[in-house]
A and B are shown apart, each in its own frame.
Chain A
C-alpha cells in the first residue's frame, strides 16, 4: 500500500483519481463484481472493528467502563441495472427499483417515477425517455432508439458500529478523499494494513451507481448524529458534501456508512456471508448482526467480555526495513542529527552503534537526516542490516487468545473436540509475529475433509489459498504420523482448522494482500502450532475410537446374548427372560475385561483379543466330499 501511495502521490497531478482507480482495480480488490461486494463490506467492517477497539483501549486506559464492539452489517439487493447503448457504445446506465427509475449519465444521476408508462430524464441538452408496455421496456435519447442490456444488480451495503464516532469536520475527508489517512505506516499490528481504505469503496460506488456515500456519525459529546452524503470530486480528489443534516442514532456514539454499488452476490466460501462468519470467529469480544441479501438475519454472539490484548506500536527494526520506508523515516524526522534519528526512530539501534555505522559508510552523524539522499540511505540501511542487532521486542502483538478462540469455536460448531494453541512471538526479517492455531472436530461440522481458515491480523483470507504460507504449512504436516487419514495431504474427517498470523507487518505475497509469503521461520512456526493441535486431536480421536470399539463390542455381546438366552432356555427349560437377565449381569460384570481386551487389541492392532486363544477353523478340506 505504501508503494501505491507513493506512486499515486507522484502521479497525482498527471492523472485523475479515476484513472488511477481503473488501472489498479485488481490491487484494490475490485477486479470483479463479486469481489467488489466483498471488498466494500470488508473495508467498512475492518474500519468499524478497528475504531471500536481503539475506543475500548482508550476507555481501558482511562479506567472507564469498556465499550465492546457491536457491529451491524446489512447487504440488500436494491434494484436492477441496465446499460443504455446506442449503435456504437454504452452511453448511460439505468437502475430500476419497482417503478422508480434512475439514469446515470456522465457522472450525474436523475431519478424519476414512471407515470402513465413513461418517464423523461434531462441532462442538459440530452433528453432520455423510458417507457414500459406489456412488461417490455424501451428507451430513447433525443428521439433515437437505445438498446437496454441487463447487467449486475445494485446492492446497498450498510455497516454500523458503536465506535467513537467521527468529528463532523473530519467526515468529508475520511470518506471523500482518496488516500486520506494513509500517513506514514506505524509499526503496529492492525487491520488497516490490509485494505486500501474506505474511500476506494466510496469511489467504486460513485463510478458504478453514481450515488454518494451516506455517512452518519455521532461522537459522545454531540447531541444528535450528523448525516452527510459524501462523494469524491474525481478531478480534484476532494470531498464534496452533497447533503448534510442531523439525525437520530441508536448508540451514544458510533458511525454508519451506506454505499450503493454494482455487484454480484454469491454464497459460498468466497462470499460475504462467509467473510462475516469468519470475521466473527476471530473477534470473540465483538457482537455482529448480519442480514444478507436473502433477508436472512444471522447474529454472531459475543463470547468474551474483554477486548484482546492491545497491540502497541514499536519502532521499525532495521532488519525488516525497506528502503522506501527508511527514506520516509529520514525525510519525516524531527531529530536534529542523523545519529539522533537512527537512535530514536529505529528499534535496537544505540547511539554507539549509530556512530560507528555512520562512520563506516562515510556519513556525518551530525548531518540532518532530511539531507540524506537515496543512494546514501541505501548503503546506510545495508550497513545497519549487516549488524548483529538485538531482536525487536515482541510484546507488541495482539493475539486472539486461546481461551477466547476455543469458546468462539465451541459456540460456532458445537464440536466434540476443540483445541487452540498459541506460539511464542518470533521474528522474521526484524518483524515480530505470532502464530495461533485451532482445530474443531465433529459437532455440526459436516465437511468430509478438513477445512482450513486462514487469518492475518484477524482478517480472513479467502483468496489465493494455494500460494499462501499458511496453506503450504498446513499441507506439510504429516498427519498420518498422528493416525489421521489424509487425502491429497488434507486430513480426512469433519474438522475445521484455523491459523492466525499476527504481525506488525504481514508479509503478503503481493499487493492483492490475500496470501502470506513463505518465510521459513513463519512456515516453521505454523507447522509447530499445527502439530501441537493435531497431537491433541489425535489423542482425542484414539480415545473416541476406543470407546466406540468398546461400545460396539458390548453391543455385539448384547445382541448375541438375546439369541443365546433363547437357545439356552430350550436346552435347560429355564425361562428365557431369566437367562437374558443373567447374561446382562455377566456383561455388566465383564465390562472391564472387555475394555481391557479393547485396549489390548488396539495396541497390538488385532481385532480378536490375543488373550483368549482363537480357534483355527481352516482345516484343509478333502476333495470331493459329498456331505
Chain B
C-alpha cells in the first residue's frame, strides 16, 4: 500500500475542502464550525462486533465564535494548513517539530497560537477525526522506536531492506509505515514483545529463523508505526500476530491496546487495532509449568489497582479465559518478568518456551 499519487491528492483535497468550507461559512455570515466525534470518555464504546474500542455516535461542533472554542478551532485550522504544506512539498515532520512550526505570535498581540506541545498534539488528533485522515497521511510522524527482524524484504523510499540481514540491532521501524512495500514475505507469523531486552535475546538466538517468524519489539507501549505494521502484516500477508509480555497488568494492557485499541486513540481504532492478535504469554499456568515461582515479584498497590481496572473493561469482563487469568493473578498477588526465563538458560525461550507455545497453539484470545 504505497503512498500513491491519488492518496496524496486525496489528502490535499480533503484539507482544501476543509478550508473552503470554513471560508464559505464566513462569507455566508455563519459562525464557522466543524463537526467532530465527541472524544469524551462518555463517547468511548467497545464494539462487540468489531471487537475494538471506538468512538460512539456522539458528535460535537467546534465553533470559531465561541470563547471556549476559538483557540482550539484556530489551532486545528493552523495544523491543517501546515499539513497541507507538508504533503505538497513531500516532507514529513515530527510531533515536536509540528509544535515549533505552528508556534508563532499572532501579529500585534502577545498571544501565541500554541503554548506547548499538548496543544498541537490535540490539534493533530482533532484534525485526524475531522478529516478522517491518519496522522501519517497528514505527514506527521511519531518518534521511531522499536526493531524488527525476520525473513521479510521491504522497499522503503527506493531502498530495498532485508529484515534478515540487519545485524544485532535489527531494522528500526519508521514511525510512518504507510509507504512501505512488502517485496517478499517468507515468515509464517509475527511475535511482538514489549521488551527490547527480550528481542535482543531472541535475535541473538536467531529465533526468527528457527521459528520462521518476524520478531518485533517496542519499548513499552507499541507506537502507532508498530501497530500499523502489525496490522499490515496480518491484513496483507495473513501472518498471525502473537503478543509476548510480562505476566503483569501492564503487559496485559499492552496486549489489550494492540488488539482492541486504546481510549486515547479510539478515533483511529480502525487503522490501528488488530482484533486478531493473540496472547502467547506469560500466563499463570506457565509459572507452574516452567518453574518460575521463585521469580515472583510481589505486587505493589498500584499493580493491584491497575488489575482491578482492567477486569472491568468491556472487552475483558465477559471473556472467561481472561477473567480466569486475572483471578489467578489476583490470587498470586505477584508478577513475573519474561527475563526470568534466562535463569533456565540464556536460550530457554528460543529452544523451549516459544516452540512449546507454537506447537500447542495455547493462545489466549
**Interface residues, chain A, with chain B CB atoms under 8 Å away:** 553, 556-557, 559-560, 562-564, 566-568, 570-572, 574, 579, 582-583, 585-587, 589-590, 593-594, 597, 607-609, 612-627
Contact = CB atoms under 8 A, between A and B. Distances in A.
A218 to B, nearest CB: 66
Interface stretch (B75-83, B199-207, B237-245, B315-323): B75-83
Contacts of A587: 65
Contact of A615 (B36, B84, B265, B306): B36
B23 A570 contact: no
B291 interface: no
Chain B contact-residue range equals: 35 or more
B117 to A, nearest CB: 11
B106 A560 contact: yes
Contacts of A559: 106, 108-109, 111
A567 B19 CA distance: 8
B42 interface: yes
Contacts of B66: 608-609, 612, 614
A122 B216 CA distance: 118
Contacts of B67: 553, 556, 597, 607-609
Interface string B241-266: 00000000010010001000011111
B121 A564 contact: no
A570 B61 contact: no
Given A607-B68, A627-B224, 6 more contacts: A559-B111, A590-B31, A613-B61, A614-B66, A619-B44, A622-B221
Given A560-B74, A571-B84, A624-B220, A619 B264 contact: yes
A567 B68 contact: no
Interface of B: 15-16, 18-20, 22-23, 26-27, 29, 31-32, 36, 38-44, 60-74, 77-78, 80-81, 84-85, 95, 106-109, 111, 113, 121-122, 142-143, 145, 218-221, 223-224, 250, 253, 257, 262-266, 306
12 contacts: A559-B111, A562-B107, A562-B108, A568-B23, A571-B15, A571-B18, A593-B65, A612-B31, A619-B263, A622-B264, A626-B219, A627-B264
Contacts of B32: 586
Contacts of B219: 626
Given A557-B70, A590-B65, A616 B40 contact: yes
A608 to B, nearest CB: 4
Nearest to B16: A571
Contacts of B218: 626
Nearest to B39: A619
Given A556-B70, A568-B22, A616-B60, A621 B263 contact: yes
Given A567-B80, A627-B223, A622 B106 contact: no
Contacts of A617: 39-40, 72, 122
B23 A582 contact: yes
A393 to B, nearest CB: 60
Contacts of B257: 622, 625
A480 to B, nearest CB: 26
Contacts of A583: 26
A144 B206 CA distance: 120
A1 B68 CA distance: 67
B229 to A, nearest CB: 15
Contacts of A613: 60-61
Given A563-B78, A571-B16, A572-B16, A627 B142 contact: yes
A81 to B, nearest CB: 58
Contacts of B77: 564, 567-568, 571
Contacts of A574: 23
Given A570-B84, A571-B84, A586-B26, A616 B39 contact: yes
B69 to A, nearest CB: 7
Contact of A616 (B38, B61, B73, B145): B38
A231 B344 CA distance: 121
Contact of B41 (A564, A607, A615, A619): A619
Contact of A624 (B26, B84, B221): B221
A619 to B, nearest CB: 5
B62 A615 contact: yes
Please provide the 5 A-B residue pairs with the shortest distance between their CB atoms, ordered closest to farther. A571-B19, A616-B40, A608-B68, A570-B81, A567-B81
Given A553-B67, A627-B223, A568 B19 contact: yes
Nearest to B122: A617
A625 B60 contact: no
A587 B32 CA distance: 11
Contacts of B61: 612-613, 615
Contacts of A618: 40-41
A103 B168 CA distance: 110
Contacts of A612: 31, 61, 63, 66, 69
A585 B25 CA distance: 12
